[in-house]
Every structure is written in structure tokens, then in C-alpha cells.
């Protein structure tokens, strides 16, 4: 999991300093996200198609092998689900935020950074919705989801602030400031955990968080295809 230093709220014109620490990575932009999405799709198909093909061949050769065929189809279904679970985990809360004084202060500071709708959505789901150039982001304390324009594809990134004592809302605020400072740099520094269909990610999210993804997908759909 990539660490993002505190105080990442640099001016919008400057790149995140953490980008220099991953100098071997190509800077993320719209075109690269499209290529990454196609690569994830191709990789998933490379895992799924052999199981589907094997199941079809087995059943055609011997109908009595139906249980083996079903097992092969099950593997073809489970593999994408496991990938999606890995993606959903980047925003899955590790523990419930408690109503401590530090958490309440951090929540107040986070509320100052966003509008009423984003505050309300955070209160319901624990995620902050942020519109960006690359799409619509959902930011949590340990990662972020990006719903691309059109709403059909989601990218999931794992990234954290390296301070175990920070309240959850403070972590979100640091990541949000970093995202606003350098959206492409944020996506470059973070570790990508998944790219695939938005509906598939939604299935693996906690029920509490699904309204946030629904809202992000609706905004992204209104923005149109990339």
C-alpha cells in the first residue's frame, strides 16, 4: 500500500512530491487510464475464457461430466469476483469511526473542505465524492475509487497516510487535498488494485457504501463517455 505524506495540500499547479518517489511509473492521464482498463479486461478474459471453454468442451464430449463443467463455470465467475473484492477492499472501513473528540474535530475540518451534498453522503457512507478531470472519485481513509465518465468502469486505488494515530476523517482530508493538488499525480502514486465494471465493484462493497458508488456513477454517466 502506497504511503502519502501528510500536508499534501500543495498548490494546484504543483505536482505531489511523492511522485518523485515512484519515478519509474508513467504518469497517469486519461489515455493511460483507457489503456489500463483494456489491459485489465484482457487479463480477466485470459483467466476466464479457458475455464468457460474447458467447461463447454467437457460437456460436449461427455454430458455426464456436467458437475465438472459447472465447477469450471464457477471458477470463471469467481475469478472476476475476487478481483472486484480486492478493488472494493481499498475503501472498506477497517473499523468503525468512534465519536471521540479528535474524530469529531477531524470531521468538522473535513466538512469545511466539501459541500453539503458531499458531507451528507459521507455521513451515510463514510466516503467523500469529488469530481475530477479523470472522472468522479470516492475517497476513503485508505484508498479511492474512480468512476470514469459514462459510469461503466471503475478504477480502485490503495493509498494511505502513514500515521496510525490519525482519525479517519483526517486521513480522508489529507487524501482529498492531495487529489485536488495533483489528480494525475495522486493516481500515479497510488497502487491500483482493480479496474473493471462498476456493477461488479458495487456487488463487493459494503451495503452501507453502495449509495456512494451509485451517486458517483450517476454523476459520471451524466458526464458522458470518455
For 169-203, write each residue's pLDDT tens digit: 888 888 998 999 999 999 999 999 999 999 999 99
Contacts 24+ apart (CB under 8 A), 221-224: 221/150, 221/151, 223/135, 223/136, 223/149, 223/150, 224/149, 224/150
The number of C-alpha atoms within 13 Å of 151 and in the hemisphere containing its C-beta is 15
Predicted confidence (pLDDT) per residue in 134-155, tens digit: 999 999 988 999 999 999 999 9
Output the pLDDT for position 14.
Answer: 58
Q: How confident is the model at residue 8 (pLDDT cuts 50, 70, 90)?
A: very low
User: Which region, left, alpha or beta, applies to residue 195 given φ > 0 means left and ψ of -120 to 50 means alpha?
Assistant: beta
Give the tens place of pLDDT for each residue, 104-131. 666 666 766 778 888 888 888 989 999 9
**Higher-confidence position of 3 and 222:** 222
> The pTM is what?
0.84
Q: What is the pLDDT of residues 34-85, one digit of tens each?
A: 999 999 999 999 989 988 988 888 888 887 778 888 988 898 899 999 999 9
Q: Residue 6 — very low, low, confident or very high, per pLDDT cuts 50/70/90?
A: very low
Amino acid at each position: 500500500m502506497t504511503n502519502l505524506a501528510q500536508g499534501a495540500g500543495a498548490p494546484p499547479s504543483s505536482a505531489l512530491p511523492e511522485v518523485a518517489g515512484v519515478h519509474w511509473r508513467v504518469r497517469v492521464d486519461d489515455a493511460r487510464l483507457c489503456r489500463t482498463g483494456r489491459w485489465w479486461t484482457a487479463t480477466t478474459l485470459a483467466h476466464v475464457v479457458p475455464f468457460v471453454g474447458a467447461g463447454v468442451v467437457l460437456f460436449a464430449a461427455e454430458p455426464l461430466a456436467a458437475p465438472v463443467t459447472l465447477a469450471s463455470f464457477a471458477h470463471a465467475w469467481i475469478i472476476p469476483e475476487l478481483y472486484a473484492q480486492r478493488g472494493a477492499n481499498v475503501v472498506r472501513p477497517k473499523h468503525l469511526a468512534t465519536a471521540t473528540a479528535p474524530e469529531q474535530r477531524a470531521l468538522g475540518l473535513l466538512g469545511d473542505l466539501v459541500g453539503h451534498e458531499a458531507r451528507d453522503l459521507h455521513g451515510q457512507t463514510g466516503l467523500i465524492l469529488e469530481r475530477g478531470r479523470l472522472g468522479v472519485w470516492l475517497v476513503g481513509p485508505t484508498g479511492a475509487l474512480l468512476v470514469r465518465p459514462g459510469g461503466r468502469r471503475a478504477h480502485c486505488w490503495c493509498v494511505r497516510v502513514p500515521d496510525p494515530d490519525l482519525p479517519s476523517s483526517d486521513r480522508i482530508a489529507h487524501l482529498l487535498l492531495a487529489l485536488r493538488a495533483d489528480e494525475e499525480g495522486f493516481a500515479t502514486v497510488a497502487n491500483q488494485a482493480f479496474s473493471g465494471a462498476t456493477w461488479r465493484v458495487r456487488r463487493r462493497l459494503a451495503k452501507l457504501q453502495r449509495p456512494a458508488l451509485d451517486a458517483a456513477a450517476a454523476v459520471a454517466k451524466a458526464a458522458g463517455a470518455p
